Each structure stands twice: as C-alpha cells, then as structure tokens.
Amino acid sequence: MKWQGRRGSRNIEDRRRRGGGGKAAGGIGGFGLIAVLAIGYFMGVDPATLLNIAGGQNTGGGSVEITEADKQAGQFVSVTLADTETIWTEIFENQLGRRYNPATLVLFKGSTQSPCGAASGASGPFYCPADKKAYLDTDFFVTMSRQLGASGDFAAAYVVAHEIAHHVQNELGTLGQANRARQRMSQTDSNRVSVMIELQADCYSGIWARYAQERLKTLERGDLKEAINAAKQIGDDTLQRNAGQRPNPHTFTHGTSAQRQKWFQRGFNTARIDQCDTFNTENL
C-alpha cells in the first residue's frame, strides 16, 4: 500500500501519551470484538489471556512512552483515515446526493474511555456511535499479524476502513435502526442482525478498497489478498475453530470467513452502496 509521504487526516485524536484507566471493552460493531471478544464471550475465555497481551496493558495513570513504531503506526492510520474521508465524500455525493460527515479516530495505547465504555488493547478497535468516534490501539496490528495470521499494511488499513464503515452505517441511520431492533429480539435473532451489520461493513470496506485502487492508485500487488485473508482469519467459524472449539453458528455475531470474504468482494466488485444491503437478502 502506497501511504508514506501522503496527506494525513485532521480528524485524529491522539491520546497515546496519556495514562489510561479501565479494563472492559466498549462500543458497538467493533472489528476487535470479532477477533477477541467473540471467542471470549461465547467460550468463557478471558480475551487478554486468549491473545496473551494482558502484560502489555496500561491500566494505570501516568505518561506512556511513544516508540518510533508507534509514531509510524499513527501516521499510517492518519493517512488511511484521510483516504476514507476522500472516498466516502465522493461516494455520498455521487451515489446518495448528500454530504459525508467524517468520523474522528481516537488513537490510544493501553486503555482509554469512551461513551460506549472503557476501551483496552485487549478489546481491539471499535466504533462508538454515541460520539461518532472510532477507537484504535495500534498494537492490535501486531496482534493481527502474530496471533490471527492477518499480516500486511493493507490488512491493517482494512481494520480502519471497517470501523469507518460502521460510521457510514451510523450516518445513514442503518446502525441505530438495527441496534434498536436488536434490543427487542431474542439473543439468537439479535446475533443474526449483528452478523448483517458486520457483513455490510465488510461490503462497504470493499467499496473503499475499489476506490482506493481506482481513484487514489494506492494499492500495490498483493494488497487485495491481504484484506481478503484478514476477512477470512476473523470469521466467527475460523476464530472458534482456532480456539479448539466446534463452530457454533447460533452464537456467530460477525459472520463466517466465507461470508466476510464474499461481502468484501461484493463491495469491491460493485463499488455501490445499494449492493451492500445485507438486511434484505436470503443468502448472507
């Protein structure tokens, strides 16, 4: 992915030099909830133990050291966020005839607070509709590569794009409507709607990738494979299988590996929002 030396976003809130507090994950529709909490919640496994990253958490006050790797990761996220802003501004104008209001992305290290709850490195990235902000500890990129088998800079960019896709859903009113409906449903039905939310975000991420390739010319050889592999590695069935469990479909909240790849590819192939309606299809 061609990102170095390019324009970054102004909508970055960098909290990484602050000491954090809190232990629980918060938010709705988080990419990190796929990779971490899905197994922990349904299998009774502590997410920090599952990913062996508890020792790296900062749960107290005080300043945090920002390494050169942290700085580079922050720059990468800023450039990727700027790309999403350019792309979704164009899509909203051309496909919907309306204005796109960008999200703010909060960078943190260790832990921080959000209106959706406390966020930690173990929770992974997530989007909070209450303040229209995405939350990201860039150490999650290391977790993706080393523990989830999803390496590469475009796989990391997919993380950012997926969370911003939830913001797009929020801007369109889809996310709020779906989550209100979930409150009136059984757990099984609520999980199914959650899958629809996540697969639509994957489809939107595919649209972003297509525009990044054609409009911004930032994709390099192998980038698309990195994103599709990331979608595979964080499917509910793959996560449960890798945890030594038999996949349990009624507990899925984000979709199978095949579904995640399918909807990302659909977004990439069509590049149209109206082709990402996961709520009105008989074949997820």
pLDDT in tens, 14-23: 998 765 544 3
Structural domain contains residue 96: yes
Question: Which residues, including other chains, have CB under 8 Å from residue 158's CB and lie 6 or more apart?
Answer: 205, 209, 226, 227, 230, 231
Using the predicted structure, report yes or no on whether residue 50 has a pLDDT greater than 50. no
What is the domain extent for residue 266? 12-280
Structural domain contains residue 5: no
How many CB atoms are closer than 10 A to CB 206?
30
Structural domain contains residue 42: yes
Structural domain contains residue 182: yes
Q: In whole angstroms, how far apart are CA 276 and each of 11, 62, 69, 178, 233?
A: 26, 44, 36, 15, 21
Please state the φ and ψ torsions of residue 235, each to the nearest 5 degrees: -70, 145
DSSP result, 155-169: HHHHHHHHHHHHHHH
∠ CA 149-153-102, rounded to 5°: 115
Using the predicted structure, report yes or no on whether residue 37 has a pLDDT greater than 70. no
Kindly indicate the confidence band of residue 144, based on its pLDDT and cuts at 50, 70 and 90: confident
Using the predicted structure, report yes or no on whether residue 146 has a pLDDT greater than 80. yes
∠ CA 201-221-107, rounded to 5°: 45
Structural domain contains residue 174: yes
Structural domain contains residue 72: yes
Average pLDDT over residues 144-169: 90
Give dist(CA 75, CA 87) in Å, integer.
18
**What local confidence, expressed as pLDDT, does residue 187 receive?**
94
Q: Can you give the pTM of this predicted structure? A: 0.85
Total domain count, the chain: 1
Query: CB of 127 within 8 A of CB of 29?
Result: yes
Structural domain contains residue 1: no
Give the lowest-confidence range in 60-74, 215-229, 259-273. Answer: 60-74
Average pLDDT score over the chain: 84
**What local confidence, expressed as pLDDT, does residue 109 receive?**
87
**What local confidence, expressed as pLDDT, does residue 142 receive?**
82
**What local confidence, expressed as pLDDT, does residue 31 receive?**
52
Average pLDDT over residues 80-98: 97
Kindly indicate the confidence band of residue 52, based on its pLDDT and cuts at 50, 70 and 90: very low
Structural domain contains residue 149: yes
Using the predicted structure, report yes or no on whether residue 13 has a pLDDT greater than 70. yes
Using the predicted structure, report yes or no on whether residue 276 has a pLDDT greater than 70. yes
pLDDT in tens, 108-134: 988 888 998 888 766 778 999 999 999
